Homo-oligomer: A and B are copies of this chain.
Amino acid sequence: MSTETAPVTHDTPDADAPALAPAEADAPAHDHATHGYSPAKAEYLRRLRRIEGQVRGIARMVDEDVYCIDVLTQVAAVTKALQAVSIGLVEDHLGHCVVDAARQSPEAGAEKVREASAAIARLVRS
C-alpha cells in the first residue's frame, strides 16, 4: 500500500511581496524582520508543515510494515519536497539579500555571493 500522498510538486512561492517598510532601507540584508523568504513566509510554513506531516506518515508506514518499496517512494517524494523548499529559499535569498548587498557595494555583494555559493554547494551535494 502506498499512501503516496502528495507528489509534492509546488512551485515556488512568489506572490505579491509586500513592500518593505521604510525603516528597513538601511540594513536590507540582515535585520531581524526581513530576509529573502519573509514575503513568502506563510507559504514556506505551510509547505514545511506538510513535509512534517509526510515524515510522520512515513513513520506510520514503517510502523505498519508497509512494503519497503512503497516506503522508499514516499521518502523520495519528501526529499524532493525539501529540495523544492531549498530552491525557493535560494531564489529568495539571491533576489533580496544578495541583490541588496550588491547594490550597497561590490564588496558587500562579493561577500554575500561567497556565502550563497557555499550554501548552494551544500544543496547540490546533499
> Given contacts A41-B63, A84-B4, A103-B109, are A91 and B117 in contact (CB under 8 A)?
yes
* Number of copies of this kind of chain in the complex: 4
Closest to A44 in B: B62
User: Which residue of B15, B37, B106 contacts A62 across the interface (Cβ within 8 Å)?
Assistant: B37
Interface size on A, residues (CB 8 A): 98
Chain A contact residues: helix, strand, loop or mixed: helix
Cα–Cα, bound, A81→B3 (Å) = 15
Whether A66 lies near B17 (C-beta < 8 A) is: yes
Q: Are the CB atoms of B12 and A57 closer together than 8 Å?
A: yes
Known: A43-B5, A45-B62, A65-B33. A83 touches B91 (CB 8 A): no
* A68/B35 contact (C-beta < 8 A), A9-B77, A10-B74, A78-B82 known: yes
Query: Can you list 18 contacts pairing A with B, beta carbon distance less than 8 Å?
Result: A2-B92, A12-B117, A14-B74, A17-B66, A30-B67, A41-B65, A48-B55, A55-B82, A68-B89, A75-B89, A76-B122, A83-B124, A87-B117, A94-B94, A94-B98, A95-B110, A98-B99, A124-B124
Seen from chain A, the residues whose Cβ lies within 8 Å of a Cβ on chain B are: 1-15, 17, 30, 32-41, 43-45, 47-52, 54-59, 61-95, 97-99, 102-103, 106, 109-110, 113-117, 119-126
